[in-house]
């Protein structure tokens, strides 16, 4: 009985260590993503995305494959102009077997103010790769009707 209990304790410790290592690795991947965008490091930034990745931007038309997003970003990065978002309030969640992680984070940006990033990472070997990133501008409920009406008016004029 004592060996069974010892074995269960060791299993719990090992499981917790794996979970903490995965959480740290996902945090490091997301922090590197933001850092590499900020310094316009094209190769390092896009190296953190899975080949099948999708980037969803703040405009409804911005749903890009990795290759399309690279084409959009390349001219900006070539001029040394990336984008700087400072993450805070990040939450990370895992699938039961710890091969998929999803997250939400609030970000601060000089021109947009508070934004939100959400996304999914998949584990490839020992590395985590971003397979979806979605950037939004959270709208306070008190402003939602006004913003929605502005969007409707713009769509009516354009459409």
State the DSSP string of 25-59: HHHHHHHHHHHHHHTT-HHHHHHTEEEEEEEE-SS
Specify the pLDDT at position 7.
Answer: 56
**CA–CA distance, 137 with 144 (Å, rounded to integer):** 11
φ, ψ (nearest 5 deg) of residue 78: -60, -30
CB 103 within 8 A of CB 96: no
Specify the pLDDT at position 19.
Answer: 60
**CA–CA distance, 109 with 131 (Å, rounded to integer):** 23
DSSP letter, residue 112? T
Specify the pLDDT at position 4.
Answer: 66
Residue 13 pLDDT more than 60? no
CB 155 within 8 A of CB 61: no
Instruction: Quick: pLDDT tens for 29-68.
Output: 999 999 999 999 999 999 999 999 999 999 999 999 999 9
Specify the pLDDT at position 156.
Answer: 76
Q: Which residue has the higher pLDDT, 70 or 143?
A: 70
The chain-wide mean pLDDT, for the chain, equals 90
Token output for 58: 């703040």
- pTM (2 decimals)? 0.83
Specify the pLDDT at position 157.
Answer: 73
Specify the pLDDT at position 34.
Answer: 98
Residue 95 pLDDT more than 70? yes
Specify the pLDDT at position 9.
Answer: 55
Specify the pLDDT at position 154.
Answer: 84
Residue among 93, 107, 130 at smallest CA distance from 19: 93
């Amino acid at each position: 009985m004592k060996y069974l209990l010892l074995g269960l304790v060791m299993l719990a410790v090992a499981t917790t260590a794996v979970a903490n290592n995965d959480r740290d690795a996902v945090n490091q991947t997301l922090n590197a993503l933001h850092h590499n965008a900020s310094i316009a490091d094209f190769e390092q930034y896009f190296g953190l995305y899975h080949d099948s990745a999708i980037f969803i931007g703040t405009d409804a038309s911005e749903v890009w494959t990795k290759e399309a997003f690279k084409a959009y970003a390349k001219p900006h990065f070539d001029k040394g102009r990336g984008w700087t978002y400072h993450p805070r309030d990040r939450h990370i969640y895992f699938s039961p077997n710890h091969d998929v992680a999803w997250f939400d984070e609030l970000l601060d940006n000089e021109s947009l103010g508070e934004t939100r990033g959400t996304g999914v990472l998949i584990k490839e070997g020992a590395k985590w790769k971003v397979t979806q990133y979605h950037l939004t501008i959270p709208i306070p409920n008190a402003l939602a009707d006004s913003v929605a009406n502005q969007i409707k008016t713009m769509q009516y004029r354009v459409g």
